Amino acid sequence: MTDITSQPELQDLSADLARFVNALSHLADRLGLDLTALEADHIAVRCHQNTTAERWKQGLLQCGALFSEKEIAGRPIALFELHTPLNVGPWQIDVVELPWPGAKLYRHEGWEHVEIVLRGDEAQLGSRALALMADEGLIQQGISVKSSAPKGEGERLPNPTLAVTDGQVTIKFHPWSLKEIVASEIS
């Protein structure tokens, strides 16, 4: 089976993975966050141009199966299940989130965040996620925390999000996996 390293449309993503893993590890260290104890759901990319998103979509279709594509927060987002999981730090991740460009321009085109499933009470997601991190890590300069609740049409599960970033990479926490969110959709 084809993986991202052998797909011409994904050469930039393949080359960017080591940078992402290194930056992710650095952020986790700053936060005092033990990645090995967490359930990673998926990894996501960011790009600035629709042509890049289309190229990545074509490459990801060669490496996996598209299992959802819908508009969320005003832009299309495609979800792929890879045939060969990616090695991302301590995890094997087989789901990739590909959003088309939105109004916000990111510093870097490539891998941008990993999402962690933190099962439990949705209303307490933020406090449960913050409790996993060292207080001194959260007050360091350059670390920001943001809560949101993205929702696609027809989704029935609440999907609050807590995002922690250093501006290079982001770690997001959700109470559900993307596959569970998609499976909850009203047909």
Domains located in the chain, CATH noted: 4-183 (3.10.180.10)
The pTM of the full predicted model, rounded to 2 decimals, is 0.92
Give the pLDDT confidence score for residue 152 in this predicted structure.
56
Phi, psi at 114, each rounded to 5°: -120, 145
Residue 148 in tokens = 């949101």
State yes or no: pLDDT of 186 exceeds 70. Answer: no
pLDDT-above-90 percentage for the chain:
70
State yes or no: pLDDT of 21 exceeds 60. Answer: yes
Query: What is the mean predicted confidence (pLDDT) over 137-154?
Result: 76
- The sheet carrying 39-46 orders its strands as 64-72, 75-88, 91-99, 39-46, 110-117, 170-174, 161-165, 144-148
pLDDT in tens, 47-93: 999 999 999 999 999 999 999 998 887 889 999 999 999 999 999 99
Dihedral sign, Cα of residue 106, residue 109, residue 114, residue 115:
positive
State yes or no: pLDDT of 172 exceeds 70. Answer: yes
Least trusted range by pLDDT, from 10-19, 41-50, 100-109: 100-109
The one-character DSSP state at 86 is E
Give the pLDDT confidence score for residue 51 in this predicted structure.
95
Query: Which residues are bridge partners to 71 per DSSP?
Result: 76
Query: What is the mean predicted confidence (pLDDT) over 23-35?
Result: 96
